[in-house]
Amino acid sequence: MMNPQGSVDYLARDGRAYVTLNRPEKRNAMSQHMWEQLMHAYDRAEDDDDVRVVVLSGAGDDFCAGHDLAEVGNQYGNGGTDENGHKRRPSQRARRQYDKTYSKARELLLLAEVWSAQEARENGLVNKVVPLGELHERGEEWAERIVRLPRDGIALGKAATNMAMQTLGVTSQFAYGPVLHTLATNMRWEPGEFNFMKERSVSGVRASTHQREAFYQTPRKQDS
């Protein structure tokens, strides 16, 4: 029976760990269940001394649509009820605990643009863009080049890179990112602003997503 929350499949062979996001009916949108499985898959690969490279892919025609928007705003759990029996929103503590695993690209946050694969490459979010028919072959070429390297050399090289990023302060985002995301998801919306949470409850995820894209792509009248 298909898991409605999706799954992350794991297969280790030939020095590779093949990790597959398996929720093609939702374009492999990541549910919290899948995030947890993905972290577990990375742990398995790290603990396997024969694995030298991880190949991450998506089942079906899409790699990953990102976070499952149906869970946004609902992922923090139930805040319980107050003394009058009314539902409470989840506490900031619960929200921050959940948000510890996320951080975002600043330009995408401010401009709400939808980038093509080529634009993502030009802005440094992906290393290379190849035709779909060549994707598996090119991925295997990269994996083969990595698995031929000395295992300890790969591990030490990654560790040295991480230490350099820590020295430069690059990884500090993982400390303050959860706090800022928690606050951002609890902000007030003013008249004339697009509230995805509200629209989703009225129109559903698919319709509200299209409405959001149209809202930011349509020129807005300046307030007088």
pLDDT tens digit sequence for 64-92:
988 887 776 555 656 667 778 777 767 76
Q: Report how far residue 182's alpha carbon sits from residue 173's, in angstroms, rounded to the nearest whole number.
A: 14
Which pLDDT belongs to residue 222? 52
Q: 6, 5, 10, 14: which is closest to 42 by C-alpha?
A: 10
Q: Report how far residue 63's alpha carbon sits from residue 206's, in angstroms, rounded to the nearest whole number.
A: 18
Assigned domain for 40 exists: yes
Assigned domain for 16 exists: yes
Phi, psi of 171 (to 5 degrees): -85, 0
Assigned domain for 31 exists: yes
Mean pLDDT of the chain: 81
- Percentage of the residues of the chain whose pLDDT score is greater than 90: 31
Q: How many domains does the chain have?
A: 1
Which pLDDT belongs to residue 60? 93
Q: Tell me the per-residue pLDDT of 142-198, one tens digit each, with 9 for 90 and over.
A: 999 999 988 888 888 888 988 888 887 777 767 777 777 777 767 777 888 888 777
Assigned domain for 189 exists: no
Residue type, 40: H
Which pLDDT belongs to residue 115? 79
Give the pLDDT band (50/70/90) at residue 112.
Answer: low
Range of the domain at 6: 1-70
In this structure, what token pair is assigned to residue 53?
Answer: 């490279």
Q: 28, 43, 164, 182: which is closest to 103 by C-alpha?
A: 182
Specify burial of residue 66 (Cβ count, 10 A radius: 0-12, 13-18, 19+).
exposed
Which pLDDT belongs to residue 78? 62
Assigned domain for 144 exists: no
CA angle 171, 175, 181 (to 5 degrees): 110
Assigned domain for 65 exists: yes
Assigned domain for 34 exists: yes
What CATH number is attached to the domain comprising 27? 3.30.300.220
Which pLDDT belongs to residue 224? 44
Average pLDDT on 22-47 reads 93
Q: Tell me the per-residue pLDDT of 93-105, one tens digit each, with 9 for 90 and over.
A: 666 666 654 473 5
Which pLDDT belongs to residue 9? 97
Assigned domain for 18 exists: yes
Asked whether 181 and 84 are in contact (CB, 8 A), the reply is no
Q: Is 192 left (phi over 0), alpha (psi -120 to 50) or beta?
A: left
Q: 173 or 215: whose pLDDT is higher?
A: 215
In this structure, what token pair is assigned to residue 41?
Answer: 């898959």
